[in-house]
Structure 1
Amino acid sequence: MKSYKIAIVNSSSFGKYFPDQMERLKKIGEVESFVFDNDISGKDLAQALKGFNIIIASVRPFFNKDFFDHKDELLLLSRHGIGFNNVDVVAAKAHGTIVTIVPALVERDAVAENAVTNLLALVRRTVDSQQAVKENQWVKRATFLGMNVTGKAVGVIGCGNIGSRVAEIFKHGFNARLLVVDPNVDLDWAKKHNVEVVELDHLLQHADVISLNASLNETSYHILQQKQFALMKKGVYITNTARAELVNEEALLQALDNGIVAGYATDVMYKEPSFNDNPLVKHDKVLVTPHTSAYAIECLRGMGDKCVSDVENLVSNTPLVSVVS
């Protein structure tokens, strides 16, 4: 019988809330958790995980070609999430490694709801006003002026699994005018929800609120940079629960400082973790949360169960689902 060694890599949540998931893995083989620097080289990562033939991986570090070229036998890399930007799936396939992800619907509601939650907290100055109360500064209440989201023009960039849910919440919860940019948008869905499918420049010129929900690829990297910020309505709010790299940070900081962007709420950063010396974290118009959009009980249960099922299916020679390589 083949022996299995299972590595849990850089996940702060797997097994924490649902110990039964860890127990299921321990019935299969040795299980060990690792925390690596996000920038660890592929070769060093491979060496550190020598002997482990199954990996359950978070959004970082990067499992690049260098990693697969130096890794000994790796049967399965199961992503504890819906994305796989940090995995070179071509290299994985070349080395005989199966790569799986969590089905998109598992994270849909949790991530979409957090995009809206963070946006509302930013617009209504929730964190600032709570801090004032904690500091016995109730008298400052009139300085925490926000705006209504109801009836505003909301632009959603990337309207797939999660972006479509964000759009639905804004439409049916806030009677928003919906502007959507996505080359693959479901036109039947758009018609049903009275969505305007537009070009990016049009969205930027008319949106009061922008939600970033695009996947990261060659066409979406830095989809918002100086030229795009210059097109925006002055005082726009932006929420991002997708990928930090959708935004050019220098251009964003300039737009925040000159008042084009009234506020930026993000659950994703270029470097994670990010600390209080980061220019975005320090900025008084920015709300940063520590990549917690999936941190809803229902979502974490579904994500963890999927990863454990991947391992169980592998060892029992049962077909795996949501395979990307």
Structure 2
Amino acid sequence: MSNKNRIAIVNSSSFGLPFPEHLERLRQLGEIEKFTFDSEIDGKTLAKELKGFNMIIASITPFYTEEFFEHKDELKLIARHGIGYNNIDLEAAKAHHTIVSLVPALIERDAVAENNITNLLNVMRQTNKAHQKVLQDKWEERANFVGHGLSGKTAGVIGVGNIGSRVAEILHYGFRCEVLGYDPYRTSLELEAFGARKVELDELLQRSDVICLCANLNEFNYHMLSEKEFASMKDFVYLSNTARGALIKEDALVNALDNGKIAGFATDVLEEEPGRTDHPLLNFENVIITPHTSAYTMECLKGMGDKCVTDCEMMADGILPNRSIQTDSIYLK
């Protein structure tokens, strides 16, 4: 068992950038190195590239699969720079004694919820398009950018957990929306506390003027919005996604945009990231895509970075990090 710590920061463009003190704290533990891998890198190659690194600060990609763990040498910790963990095989991590820790959900709550609403308002009010006309010295074309208001609309929130509950609060208390919430894991009473009424997905789709996706991705909700669901929606509905791209079947979304069913789509996530300029959604003027930056506030990144660094420090001392979702390890005291 090695006593030397080597820490890999993988596919996180933000870690340590606004807060270099996070990197300084890690250097007190040992060697650190940043890596950027293709999101589809295979497990065996990933393990080879990360040979000798016994702690990883991980982003949403790549995928730490069973194949990765089978070929990886000593790995004490994967600390997720975020709250999701669908890219980590927890059973394989357990079999190889690798602790997996997450950022507490509350750290990201305000930042991601605020961005869901920000992006929604952007596409409803055509803010980006209007700004581009100013840059082109075409101020006089402003009458082309009459948008739609959010206040008083019927708003559907899919997934009323950590992020979705805050979105519901903002919509209900800030914009006087009637909020319909779909979440099979929450009770009616829980949703009412955030200003939402619990409904089934069909009712939400049929009644909502705007829909906000905030659900975790799991085996049951992959492509939960597909052809059937888009057909059930109101005509001219607005949609905002700050959860996971794979909640939506993108071909079906493209068709719904083509036929005018969807008035506008704002997303911070795609099923395959990073997105490139040839992505079919970019052919639509009523679509805005941001590069998975919902958590990118100074407040949120400081909290996320503090947590990841603390996890590494605790693991170096053989102490189980807080908010660990895989806790079996031979490396703990």
What's the offset of the Cα at 1:130? 0.2
The aligned runs of 1:69-84 (5 Å cut-off) are 69-84=70-85
Question: What does 1:143-182 correspond to in 2, within 5 Å?
Answer: 143-182=144-183
Code of the aligned partner of 2:170: I
Alpha-carbon distance in 2 for matches of 1:270, 1:183: 23
Rounded to whole Å, the distance in 2 between the matches of 1:266 and 1:204 is: 18
Is the 2:169–2:195 Cα contact (8 Å) retained in structure 1? no
Which residue does the alignment assign to 2:44?
43
- Report the equivalent of 1:125: 126
Show CA shifts across 1:42-99 (max 9, x none).
Answer: 0000000000000001110111111001101100000000000111111011111000
| 1:142 alignment partner in structure 2 | 143
Structure-1 residue corresponding to 2:331: none
Q: Percent identity?
A: 54
- 1:223-234 alignment runs, 5 A limit: 223-234=224-235
Structure-1-length-normalised TM-score:
0.98
Residue-by-residue CA offset, 1:164-190 (whole Å, 9 max, x unaligned) = 000000001100001000012243332
Which secondary structure state, in structure 1, belongs to the residue aligned with residue 324 of structure 2?
coil
Q: Find the aligned partners of 1:188 and 1:196 in 2 and give their Cα distance.
A: 9
**Change over 3 Å in CA distance of 1:111–1:193 after alignment to 2:** closer
Which residue does 2:67 correspond to in 1? Answer: 66
Q: Following TM superposition, by how much is the alpha carbon of 1:316 offset from its aligned partner in structure 2, in angstroms?
A: 1.5
Change (3 A) 1:171 1:225: same
Which letter does structure 2 place at the counterpart of 1:110?
A: A
After superposition, the C-alpha distances for 1:252-290 in whole angstroms (9 at most, x for unaligned) are 000011111001100001222211111012321210000
Amino acid at match of 1:127: N
1:7 pairs with 2:8? yes
Unaligned regions of 5+ residues in structure 1, if any? none
Residue 193 of structure 1: how far off its partner (Å)? 4.2
Alignment match, 2:330:
none
Aligned residue for 1:96, secondary structure, equals coil
In 2, distance between residues paired with 1:19 and 1:41?
Answer: 31
User: 1:222, CA displacement in angstroms?
Assistant: 0.7
Partner of 1:214: 215
User: Is this contact kept in 1: 2:166–2:194, CA < 8 A?
Assistant: no
Name the residue aligned to 2:197: 196
**Counterpart contact for 2:188–2:197, Cα < 8 Å:** no
Counterpart contact for 2:154–2:180, Cα < 8 Å: yes
Shift of residue 318 of structure 1? 2.5
* Structure 2 residues without counterparts, runs of 5 or longer: 327-333
Residue 329 of structure 2: aligned partner? none
State the partner residue of 1:301.
Answer: 302
**Match in the other structure for 1:279:** 280
CA contact (8 A) 2:187 2:198 kept: no
Q: CA deviation at 1:317?
A: 2.4
Matched, 1:55 2:56: yes
CA distance in structure 2 between the partners assigned to 1:170 and 1:194 by the alignment: 8
Q: Read off the aligned partner of 2:114 and give its amino acid letter.
A: E
TM-score by length of 2: 0.96
Aligned-partner Cα distance in 1 for 2:96–2:195:
47
After superposition, what is the alpha-carbon deviation per residue over 1:132-168, rounded to whole angstroms, capped at 9, x for unaligned? 0100111211111211110000000000000000000
Structure-2 residue corresponding to 1:268: 269
1:106 aligns with 107
- Cα distance in 1 for partners of 2:195, 2:14 equals 38
Residues of 1 paired with 2:104 and 2:232: CA distance?
36
Q: Is the 8 A contact 1:275 1:281 kept in 2?
A: no
Q: Which residue of 2 aligns with 1:237?
A: 238
Rounded to whole Å, the distance in 2 between the matches of 1:310 and 1:115 is 29
CA contact (8 A) 1:276 1:282 kept: no
Q: Distance in 2 between matches of 1:79 and 1:281?
A: 30
Compared CA separation, residues 52 and 193, structure 1 to 2 (3 A): closer
Amino acid aligned to 2:311: D
State the alpha-carbon separation in 2 of the partners of residues 283 and 57 from structure 1: 33
Q: Give me the whole-angstrom Cα distance separating, in 2, the residues matched to 1:161 and 1:191.
A: 14
Tell me the alpha carbon deviations over residues 288-315 of structure 1, each in whole angstroms, 9 at most, x when there is no partner.
0000000001100000000000000111
